[in-house]
Structure 1
Amino acid sequence: MNNWMTYAAFILYFLILIFMGIHFYFKSRKLEDYLLGGRGMGSWVTALSAQASDMSGWLLMGLPGAIYLAGMNQIWIAVGLIIGTFLNWIFVAARLRLYTGETGSMTLSSFLGKRFNDPTNSLRLISSVITLLFFTVYAASGLVSAGKLFESMFNIDYTTAVVLGMAVMIFYTLLGGFLAVCWTDLFQALLMVFAIVVLPFIAYNSIDPDTMTKAFAAKDGTFNPIPQGAAIAVILSIISSAAWGLGYFGQPHILVRFMSVKNIKLLPRSITIAMVWVFISLTGAVIIGLLGIPLYKELPTGDEEKVLIYMIRDFVSPYFIGVLLAAILAAIMSTISSQMLVCSSTLTEDIYANVIKPKASSKELLFVSRIFVLIISIIALILSFDKSSNIFQLVTFAWGGFGAAFGPVVLMALYSRKATWYSALAGMVVGTIVMLTWYFTGLNKYMYEIVPSFLANIVVMFIINYFKPNTNKDIDDEYNRVQQYLKDGYTPPNKDGEADCCN
């Protein structure tokens, strides 16, 4: 697999990322530019950046590996993700854009603190800690993906591979911030969907029909979407897999894309683009996993998540190997860079500017934000040195954590007049505790931890809001203004007074 064309494709890919980092460095002169792109993102960039940062290396490595191992009974994860993606765009995107603009919030933590007018600052600080905790694990999963990719491609040491992947990602994120991350995401999303469409056709045409038939017949239940077992176990398994969709309402790296869109009138177009991309990508990933069964009857333990890499190595022309492998790296880097930037945003706005130095200048905060990108990257890098880490399991843990802690709170913030800061804080803490308890006691083998923790969070909030609802008139007036903006389809001007447009 090592040839000059493969290296050339990767060098070109890296040069594009580096160019974007340098280019957007000169456009990110204010903190809002660096963290949110000046709230001026268009429909294509918003849509594809949100979805590329969502799927990560899990799409091209984790999901095909799960399908290869267990067959179509893993399809419910993809179904849940498609439904969750759609509901997130429909019910969260526009309201969150308007509400964060109204409150002048640049992070999810600052939005929650300002939306509920928390006088203690506890909501903002605790949500920041939760963000940093789960994103560090999430970013580590991406680096594990990058390490395995480079190791397989170039036969280099795993640790060296991880460091190399992180170095490139740090460069363009550190320089260009949100604008660089989103525009590289657009490029990377197109590269990903190209790979996920082309590779199944190449692999399918490389398999003898009789070999394929025998391989599927030998693996009982490959095409059966219903898991085997007792009825109650089957139901719990399907719910557990489909519940991945609940996680969307609480993912900061996806929600921040909604916060950055130029005008809510652009969102219908963004929704269409996003859903087409998601459907094609998930379908392609499932097909790749299925085709791996007749192609590779017994992969070494731990290599199941490399099934796509093996296909590229064995069946793709040398002229395209580098391009398709770059697509895998694109999936990985689009998510890691987004997560690093969200962590940096949280540390800068919610901790440094909010607690440590409230009167810091915009120039100082911009510098501090870049330093935090570097620090979080190093921590994630250290965690990723464990080569035995399973990408799918790491993503499952972090995804469930965000969904449990933030999902119900975000929905309540956008849809409930009665919600208060103490109900939000209680729900967030209870959801996180239930999630961690469920996971570390091993109950997740019966049900994905996001289900009980999401329910615990929202039940706690409902109970508190019922007995002690919001009575703050300012909060109620703000809620009414946002509802009116939504009804009128109007996006108020940015904080600097520059009117939004919707071209």
Structure 2
Amino acid sequence: METATLVTFIVYLVGMLAIGLVAYRMTNNLSDYVLGGRRLGGGVAALSAGASDMSSWLLLGLPGYAYVAGMEAIWISAGLAIGAYLNWQFIAKRLRKYTEYAGDSITVPDFLENRFRDKTKMLRVVSAFVILVFFAFYTSAGLVGGALLFETSFGLTYTQALWIGAIVIISYTFLGGFLAVSWTDFFQGILMFLALIIVPLVAISEMGGWSETVNAVGNIDPAHLDVFAGVGAIAILSNVAWGLGYFGQPHIITRFMAIRSTKEVPKARLIGMTWMVLALFGAIFTGFVGIAYFAGGGPGAPLAAGSEETVFIAFTQLLFNPWIAGFLLAAILAAIMSTIDSQLLVSSSAITEDFYKAIFRKNASQTELVWVGRLGVLVIALIAVFLAYNPESTVLDLVAYAWGGFGAAFGPVIILALFWKRMTGNGALAGMIVGFATVIIWSNLQGGLFDLYEIVPGFVLGWITIMAVSLAGKEPSAEIQEEFDSVNSSKY
């Protein structure tokens, strides 16, 4: 690697660690560490949610998919954009209000327990268990992406690259908690956005323009230009269904809980959706022009089989000055870091708030809880490193599994908890378990209908279970219904 590229890369990493140190000095209690004291502005919340949402999938997985499949990749992007908009439009404001009304809840399990007055702790424990299981896979996906980046860029072995990336990310999450995560995500979101605009534009220019790029791709395989080529109804539904996952992603919806005021939500929605749509198109076009550049006798040498997810990295190394390449490569690390830090933090809060404090140490001091949270970050990260040890793992597959798991287990529960007065705690618990189990079972079956993305049956069966169990049981108590009405009547 060029010295200039390495220098810019290191400058970026030092900057992120500096933010972690500043946030460390501002973190005084568990609410600060887990939710930033509910003081995020709209812009920071929007870019933080977007950056933590997209991860290395946006710069590695999606461009790699577009490189292999062509414009078929638009279906996933369309589903994600629709799901994200509906999440901001209907969930953000309502969740911000309801979590404050329901005992000032600072985690998703905390909210569910307070919302349904669950004295058994089962809602808290089961939801925390679901978080830990699927975030182990989700975090390992980010670590695989980091390993690909360090391995390709620095000539390291996969194992060396995996550990270096893990150490960097763990460090500032360990120190600064939610504030460090949100502030770094804000800057990382800007960097990711610029990279996904610059790289495809320069690559298309190198090919002679958009028309020449399209013609070159069509000459390689006309199917790459057809969004319906090679995809049947099940494949299209599976891709679009990625949008369902948004309603149940703990690392995204905690941004809604942390926003300063519901008045910030419209601004955050506008910023967040603009960022997301342009970034998704940039990722698709990166992979699409990569077909012409690398796969069809273009200027670049063909990418090796199995390394399609490195198409963005290949462009940065071939098309840009070493100084610029350093920042573009840092954008990949930004995407990886911005998601893993959020996932580690939510997992840490599940251990601290939902297991340690709720079950073992109800009277633990704030300082003790913060340090338990930091140790939780270390433990979860080590488990994720172990899962990522397989160099054959792909970012897209690991993300798809975790995304589907969260969407099915939590999506219907969150939506109905916010908008259905008749929902009961038993309904929430049963729906969560059914959604969780369906994803696990369905993902291990193959052929025909079982090729449908597991989030679809998981989401549908979870929703039906919640309604059936709730209607079969007693109505929620007067206290729960009055709180629901209070949230409805609240104007702020």
Supply the AA of the counterpart residue of 1:462. M
Paired with 1:214 and 1:194, the residues of 2 have a C-alpha distance of 26
Indicate the residue corresponding to 1:495 in structure 2: none
Matches of 1:48 and 1:407 in 2, distance apart?
A: 22
Counterpart-to-counterpart distance in 1, 2:378 and 2:26 = 20
Q: Which residue of 1 aligns with 2:298?
A: none
Paired position in structure 1 for 2:339: 335
8 Å Cα contact 1:216/1:293 also seen in 2: no
Q: Secondary structure at the match of 2:389?
A: coil
Partner of 1:35: 34
Q: What letter corresponds to residue 190 of structure 1 in structure 2?
A: I
Q: How many residues align?
A: 482
Q: Single out whichever of 292-301 and 105-114 deviates more from structure 2.
A: 292-301
Q: Deviations over 1:475-503 (max 9, x none)?
A: 00111111111xx1x2xxxxxxxxxxxxx
- Across the aligned residues of Structure 1 and Structure 2, the Cα RMSD in angstroms comes to 1.3
Q: In structure 1, what residue type is equivalent to 2:489?
A: Q
CA–CA distance in structure 2, aligned partners of residues 261 and 347 of structure 1: 23
CA offsets per residue over residues 233-255 of structure 1, 9 Å max, x none?
Answer: x2221111000000000000001
| Counterpart AA for 1:248 | Y
Q: In the TM superposition, what is the alpha-carbon distance from 1:319 to its structure 2 partner?
A: 2.4
Specify the alignment match of 2:267 in structure 1: 269
Partner of 2:306: 302
Distance 1:413 1:374 in 2: 32
User: Does the C-alpha gap of structure 1 residues 472 and 227 become closer, same or farther in structure 2, counting only changes over 3 Å?
Assistant: farther
- Compute the displacement of 1:467 (Å): 2.8
Q: Corresponding residue for 1:49?
A: 48
CA shift for structure 1 position 301: 1.7
SS in structure 2 of the partner of residue 162 of structure 1? helix
Residue 228 of structure 1 deviates from its aligned partner by 3.0
Q: Deviations over 1:42-72 (max 9, x none)?
A: 0111000000000000001100111111111
CA contact (8 A) 1:419 1:469 kept: no
* Paired position in structure 2 for 1:118: 118
1:337-376, aligned counterparts within 5 Å? 337-376=341-380
Question: What residue in structure 2 maps to residue 256 of structure 1?
Answer: 254
Contact residue 6 and residue 318 of structure 1 kept, 8 A: yes
1:211 Cα deviation after fit: 7.5
Cα distance in structure 1, aligned partners of 2:425 and 2:127: 12
Letter in 1 for 2:370: L
Q: Give, in angstroms, the shift of residue 310 of structure 1.
A: 0.7
Aligned to 1:496: none
- Partner of 2:225, secondary structure, is coil
Deviation string 1:301-331 (CA, Å, 9 cap, x unpaired) is 2100001111111111222110100001100
Mapped contact 2:142–2:395 kept (Cα < 8 A): yes
Deviation at 1:126, TM superposition (A): 0.6
User: In structure 2, what is the equivalent of residue 188 of structure 1?
Assistant: 188
Q: CA shift at 1:215, angstroms?
A: 3.8
| SS, match of residue 205 in structure 1 | helix
Tell me, yes or no, if the aligned pair for 2:48 and 2:183 is still in contact at 8 Å.
yes
- Give the SS at the match of 2:186: helix
Distance in 1, Cα, partners of 2:147 & 2:165: 7
State the match for 1:452 in structure 2. Answer: 457
Q: Distance in 2 between matches of 1:118 and 1:44?
A: 35
Which residue does 2:155 correspond to in 1?
Answer: 155
Tell me the TM-score normalised to structure 2 length.
0.96
Alignment partner, residue 240 of structure 1: 238
Corresponding residue of 2:206: 206
> Residue 222 in 1 paired to residue 240 in 2?
no
Amino acid in structure 1 at the alignment position of 2:455: I
Counterpart of 1:324 (choices 328, 351, 360) is 328
Aligned equivalents of 1:366, 1:348: Cα separation in 2: 8
Do residues 394 (structure 1) and 394 (structure 2) align?
no
Residue in structure 2 matched with residue 18 of structure 1 by the alignment: 17
Query: Is the 8 Å Cα contact of residues 64 and 307 (structure 1) preserved in structure 2?
Result: yes
Structure 1's unaligned 5+ residue stretches are: 491-503
TM-score using structure 1 length? 0.94
Q: Does 1:471 align with 2:470?
A: no
Q: Which amino acid is 1:222 matched to? A: H
Contact 2:204 2:213 in 1 (8 A): no
Percent identity reads 43
Deviates more, 1:278-287 or 1:118-127: 118-127
Q: Which amino acid in structure 2 is aligned with residue 482 of structure 1?
A: V
Residue 299 of structure 2 is matched in structure 1 by none
* Counterpart-to-counterpart distance in 2, 1:133 and 1:398: 9
Once the two structures are TM-superposed, the CA of residue 208 in structure 1 deviates from its matched residue by 4.8
Post-superposition offset of 1:471: 3.3
The verdict on how the C-alpha distance between 1:317 and 1:131 changes in structure 2, with shifts beyond 3 A counting, is same
> 2:105 maps to which residue?
105
The answer on whether the counterparts of 1:227 and 1:237 sit within 8 Å (CA) in structure 2 is no
CA 482–388 in structure 1, closer or farther in 2 if over 3 Å, else same: same
**How far 1:227 sits from its partner (Å)?**
3.6
> Which amino acid in structure 2 is aligned with residue 238 of structure 1?
I
Matched-pair contact (CA < 8 Å) for 2:404–2:455: yes
Which residue identity lines up with residue 253 of structure 2 in the other structure? Answer: L
1:480 to 457, 464, 485: 485
